[in-house]
Amino acid sequence: MELESHCVSSRLLLVDDSPTNLRFLAHVLHHMGELFFATDGPSALQIARDKQPDLILLDVEMPGMSGYEVCQQIKQDPLLADVAVIFVTSHQSMEHEVRALEVGGVDFISKPLNPPIVRARVRTHMTLKQQSDKLRRLANRDGMTGVFNRRALDEILSVEFRRHMRIGAPLGLAMLDVDFFKHYNDCYGHLQGDDCLRHIARTIVASTRRPAESVCRYGGEEFMVVLPNCNAEQTLQYGHWLLDQIHRLALPHQNSDSGIVTISVGLHSQIPNETTSIPELIQHCDEALYCAKHHGRDQVCVYQAADAGVDA
């Protein structure tokens, strides 16, 4: 079952096999974020993967799968490893508290529950989680353009590859390169070149609006966009849309054939499986980008297994 509060700044998953306990927790925490509920371990794991909560309040004693087992699976899942887990239990012995911390819990609340204590503990760990997320975002950002860096790209692709393989959905990738960028730097200088890349990055971000789409600086004047749940046709449409948005910028480039800054785009979409790998997906995108460059730049190419890439 699933309930929502009026505040959507944070997401909390409450897990307990007792509906009475869930109603109590919902009453205590209703103002602290968007609430989701599960009454058993498997349901908790499924909802956690689907909703990506910031914090989980997890009952220890549940039939079938204990809270400790649920927490262990959460911490082993790349999608959920950073979620804060607070255990809720009637046990008050040191052994149970140590066990909760050993499997990855951040705190331990004993029953019967005291509402002010529950709210204070949840508020504390939500604040810590938000601070941790902020630091992680800063570490994963490219200092010049503000988009994700290569380190973040590796993490994003790892998560999305596994998720799309699990649900059997296509994962789209777009790799783009600024055409004649060396000539641009030679003509206008490196400071102006940096400004050009910032304009390009902002335009890509503005053109990438679906949930979970991520823009990353791949290196130099190359960028990559991760396009979740995006089939070949949708990926191709995105590539042409992106090309058009860069045209609309109309950044002057006197050493370009068109007189403005343009990009070349390589595209690939595939349902991940056990026989493919992330480096292979990137390589396919890179080959498609090479195809676009080879055929005159300022265009989109898609990867095809038979001959690496074709004009689109």
In tens, the pLDDT along 267-288 reads: 999 999 999 999 999 999 999 9
Cβ-Cβ contacts under 8 Å for 98 (sequence gap 6 or more): none
How much is the pLDDT for 233?
95
User: Does the active-site annotation cover 221?
Assistant: yes
Q: Report the 10 Å Cβ neighbour count for 28.
A: 19
256 or 135: whose pLDDT is higher? 256
Q: Report the 10 Å Cβ neighbour count for 159.
A: 18
pLDDT band with cut points at 50, 70 and 90 for residue 3: very low
Question: Which tens digits make up the pLDDT trace of 224-258?
Answer: 999 999 999 999 999 999 999 999 999 999 999 89
**Catalytic entry in 160, 221, 222, 287:** 221
pLDDT of 211 over the 80 cut: no
Cβ distance 43 to 114 under 8 Å?
A: no
How much is the pLDDT for 311?
47
Instruction: Give CA–CA dist 175/285, Å, rounded.
Output: 6
How much is the pLDDT for 280?
96
Mean of the pLDDT values across residues 7-32?
89
Q: Which amino acid is at 103?
A: V
| Average pLDDT along the chain | 89
Scan for tokens 């400790």, then name that residue. 68
Instruction: Give CA–CA dist 232/170, Å, rounded.
Output: 8
pLDDT of 2 over the 70 cut: no
Cβ distance 86 to 58 under 8 Å?
A: yes
